[in-house]
A and B are shown apart, each in its own frame.
Chain A
Amino acid sequence: MRRILCALAVILSPLCAAAFPVEEEHVFPGTGAGSELWILSTTDTEYFAPLLTAFQARHPSVTIRYTVTGSASVYTAVADEGVACDLAISSAMDLQMKLANDGFALPHASAAQLPDWAQWQDRIFGFAQEPVVLVASRKALEGLALPRTRRDLIDLLRDHPGRFEGRIGTYDPLQSGAGYLFATQEARQSDSFWRLAEVMGANRPRLYASTKPMLDDLETGTLALAYNVLGSYAATRAAHDPDVALIEFEDFTLTLLRTALIPKDARNPELAGMFIDFLLSPEGRRLSGQQGGLPPVNEAALVQTPRLRPIRLDPGLLVYLDRVKRRAFLEEWAAAVKQP
């Protein structure tokens, strides 16, 4: 009976699990009557599929259900709606941190050795690190030097008023958890964030809830610049489209961790733990880097490239989630960006 209900839930999930907006959902059926691993994720299926199929090859009986939604939705699904997914994968590190801090994550003893900034207790595991980059259309910037620092970008926008009017895209921190994390971390790291926000605001930027439509608009020429885009998605586009230029700012480039945790209502926490171990295993790291385009956690790369600043998994991430702090930040952001 329960299995039938589950099956119904899978079929009807876009309708009945409407508590959170589902962007994509894929089911990788296993052989026979194995258990189901339900992953709720912010990472697009195409990036994760190689890992999922490789995991399934090792455990053929396991059915994998992979649901993609926004980072804010992953948080509310686990924290408020009690959605019984087995694994929550998100790029919003602060929300993952809050889930674990508030007791919504189960511990998992993993043998993998992660650097301390990429793991919190035995509850949050970073498995991929990627820079947050500026993506530019070479066509749109024809005749201009590509900006190498935030100061360059500010100068570029100041020197060419009107040229980028309505052609700058960035995350809407109100809608996107990852966008909010990038904005707050940048504001914390540097004063130039607010000047940049004002200069962008003067150009009436387009605001997006996720990366994909932003990059789509860049490719169609609607946007000339996409600010604060996840490096892995941008790299895939840049590999196929020579017009897309990927810029890691030299003053500093935030480096984000994609993290996984096991929600406390998980039905198959052991299975989820096995999947985490697989993600962190040499095989998982190789697959994720080469086939998925999600570079694995690599401390050496950070040491060699000084511009990369990892966002650390520590309780500081909770600060900008404070409702007073969040309200104040968003007000200030709106005042800077949404100019009359």
Chain B
Amino acid sequence: MTGRIRWRMPRAPLSLRQRLLLQLLGIAAMLAVFLYFTVRTVAGQAAETTQDGILGAATTAIAEQLRAGTEQVEIDLPYDAFSVLGSISEDRVFYRIDVGGETVTGYDDLPLPPEASGKVGPQFYTRPFRDTEVRIAAVTRQVVVAGQALPVLVLVAQTRLGQDAIAERIANRAAGLGLGFFTLALLLSLIAAGSVLAPIDRLAEAVARRGPEDLRAVDASTPRELVPLVGALNGFIARLRAALGRTETFITEAAHHIRTPLATVRAQAEIALRQSDNEATRQTLRGVIRAVEESARSATQLLDHAIVVYRSDRMTSDALDFGALVAGVVASIEPAASLKDVDLRLSPAAQPLPVTGDRALLESAVRNILDNAVKYSPEDSVVRLSLAAEDNRAVLRVEDRGRGLSGLDPASLSGRFRRGGNVADVVGSGLGLTIVTEVAAAHDGRFSLTEREGGGVCAEFSVPLQ
């Protein structure tokens, strides 16, 4: 049993449109069939009633012409009574007149009525007659002849070819009507399904159009039926956003909690280094200081990266002057650079460079670029910084005389935790260029590294001018 169930292919569920269409069409088909049979039945009955009416009128007209003669009943068939029977259709006509139970004229094998009706009006019945089937109208009259009441039975019969033809014609029309109705229903169903499902399509489109990190609540106006779905979706988005926020806070806290004790450890180690004369101990302490420095850097960059990731989801748009921003960062880096005797030379732009962006992110990017440049520059060297407006972009170029890329693909260096193969002796986490690349992407900016002639790297960072 289970094996069989396992092998059954899961059927793709019908789409809403298919369900709606199928159900609407099913209803339309049922109605069309119902319409066909109703029209057919009603029309058939109407045709029969009409023909019965004429047949009855003809029979009654003959009965009205019966007169009491001196010895017998006088019968005078009215011409028009028969003529009118041919007015609707070309049906065969038979008749029979019995006086006192004896056939006086007409077709004496015409079937008699099943029972005496006792009615004044005609009695109708259908019987097979000779090679065909006929509808018969029977009227009974009492005629007094020589003081004696004689029952006279008048039968007039007609074949039903005309009625059948009418019924068939009407049935064909009814079928056509039903088919037309169905076709119309098909078109209307398509339109109805489209219009009913349009809000769902619109909602799906609104959600699909969002960027991968857009975590705002969905606020598209939706019909009442979709409100729970949108509510659930927004609840989910809110939970996701909260979870991301918590992660962010956690990283910040963690970096902070790691950096503070590390700074303490480093200070203590440096004091110990100055006080110690034992070369072995000094060597160990230098190793400790180096490791602590590396850890502090990594923590800082982790924090930076977390901020970049966090803020690029909901960046602020500030109006900034890119030149002033770069000058600020240069000022903050200067002490670290002078420790290595690296000279930072900034050539400002000829004009102000107004840009729109997130101040914290842009500062983080510029700091990382400069940090790298200082870090990989040899002692007592120059790092040149130049600002310019080119192609409607604010461009920062940072040129160092460091160890260069050694033929590595610059793009591969911007991956998270990726470092070049020639930097083992320099402290680094591999997150710096990742941060720069992400900030550039968030600001519709560009970042590139190119090898300089004569050694070193030129880093170029640009964002659109306002």
| Chain A CB within 8 A of B105 CB | yes
Q: Which residue of B lies closest to A326 (CB)?
A: B105
| Chain B CB within 8 A of A57 CB | no
Q: Which of B90, B97, B104, B105 touches A121 (beta carbons < 8 Å)?
A: B90
Chain A proximity of B337: nearest CB distance (Å): 112
Q: Which of B83, B91, B95, B161 touches A312 (beta carbons < 8 Å)?
A: B83
C-alpha gap A277/B82 in the complex (Å): 29
Chain A proximity of B84: nearest CB distance (Å): 8
CB pair B105–A315 under 8 Å, yes or no, is no
C-alpha gap A282/B123 in the complex (Å): 48
Contact with B along A311-337 (1 / 0, CB 8 A): 010111111101111001000000000
Q: Which of A100, A102, A315, A324 touches B82 (beta carbons < 8 Å)?
A: A315
CB pair B104–A318 under 8 Å, yes or no, is no
CB pair A315–B93 under 8 Å, yes or no, is yes
CB pair A188–B90 under 8 Å, yes or no, is no
Q: Which of A120, A316, A323, A324 touches B79 (beta carbons < 8 Å)?
A: A316
CB pair A322–B132 under 8 Å, yes or no, is no
Chain B proximity of A112: nearest CB distance (Å): 16
CB pair B76–A328 under 8 Å, yes or no, is yes
| Chain B CB within 8 A of A101 CB | yes
Interface residues of B, dominant DSSP: mixed
| Chain B CB within 8 A of A213 CB | no
A218-232 residues at the B interface, CB under 8 angstroms: none
Q: Specify which chain A residues have a CB less than 8 angstroms from the CB of B94 in the assembled complex.
A: 101
CB pair A103–B132 under 8 Å, yes or no, is yes
A257-289 residues at the B interface, CB under 8 angstroms: none
Q: Specify which chain A residues have a CB less than 8 angstroms from the CB of B90 in the assembled complex.
A: 116, 120-121
| Chain A CB within 8 A of B219 CB | no
CB pair A324–B104 under 8 Å, yes or no, is yes
| Total number of residue pairs linking A and B with CB closer than 8 Å | 59
| Chain A CB within 8 A of B131 CB | yes
Number of interface residues of A (CB under 8 A): 21
Q: Which residue of A lies closest to B85 (CB)?
A: A315
Chain A proximity of B211: nearest CB distance (Å): 77
The answer to whether residues A319 and B82 also contact, given A324-B105, A328-B76 and a CB cut-off of 8 A, is: yes
Q: Specify which chain A residues have a CB less than 8 angstroms from the CB of B132 in the assembled complex.
A: 103
CB pair A322–B86 under 8 Å, yes or no, is no
Q: Specify which chain B residues have a CB less than 8 angstroms from the CB of A120 in the assembled complex.
A: 86, 90
A231-248 residues at the B interface, CB under 8 angstroms: none
Q: Which residue of A lies closest to B129 (CB)?
A: A103
CB pair A318–B130 under 8 Å, yes or no, is no
Q: Specify which chain A residues have a CB less than 8 angstroms from the CB of B80 in the assembled complex.
A: 316
CB pair B92–A188 under 8 Å, yes or no, is no
Contact with A along B69-87 (1 / 0, CB 8 A): 0000001111111110111
Q: Which residue of B lies closest to A329 (CB)?
A: B76
C-alpha gap A252/B1 in the complex (Å): 94
CB pair A316–B82 under 8 Å, yes or no, is yes
Contact with B along A4-46 (1 / 0, CB 8 A): 0000000000000000000000000000000000000000000
| Chain A CB within 8 A of B106 CB | yes
Q: Which residue of B lies closest to A323 (CB)?
A: B105
Q: Specify which chain B residues have a CB less than 8 angstroms from the CB of A320 in the assembled complex.
A: 79
CB pair B105–A318 under 8 Å, yes or no, is no
CB pair A318–B76 under 8 Å, yes or no, is no
Chain B proximity of A330: nearest CB distance (Å): 14
CB pair B79–A319 under 8 Å, yes or no, is yes
CB pair B131–A318 under 8 Å, yes or no, is no
CB pair B83–A325 under 8 Å, yes or no, is no
Chain B proximity of A287: nearest CB distance (Å): 28
CB pair A319–B78 under 8 Å, yes or no, is yes
CB pair B77–A101 under 8 Å, yes or no, is no
Q: Which of B75, B82, B87, B91 touches A318 (beta carbons < 8 Å)?
A: B82
Listed in ascending order, the chain B residues whose CB lies under 8 Å from chain A are: 75-83, 85-87, 90-95, 97, 104-106, 130-132, 161
Closest 6 CB pairs between A and B? A316-B83, A314-B86, A315-B93, A324-B105, A315-B82, A316-B82
15 A-B pairs within 8 Å (CB atoms) are namely A101-B93, A102-B92, A103-B92, A312-B86, A315-B92, A316-B82, A316-B83, A317-B82, A318-B93, A322-B77, A323-B105, A324-B75, A324-B77, A324-B97, A325-B77
Listed in ascending order, the chain A residues whose CB lies under 8 Å from chain B are: 100-103, 116, 120-121, 188, 312, 314-320, 322-325, 328
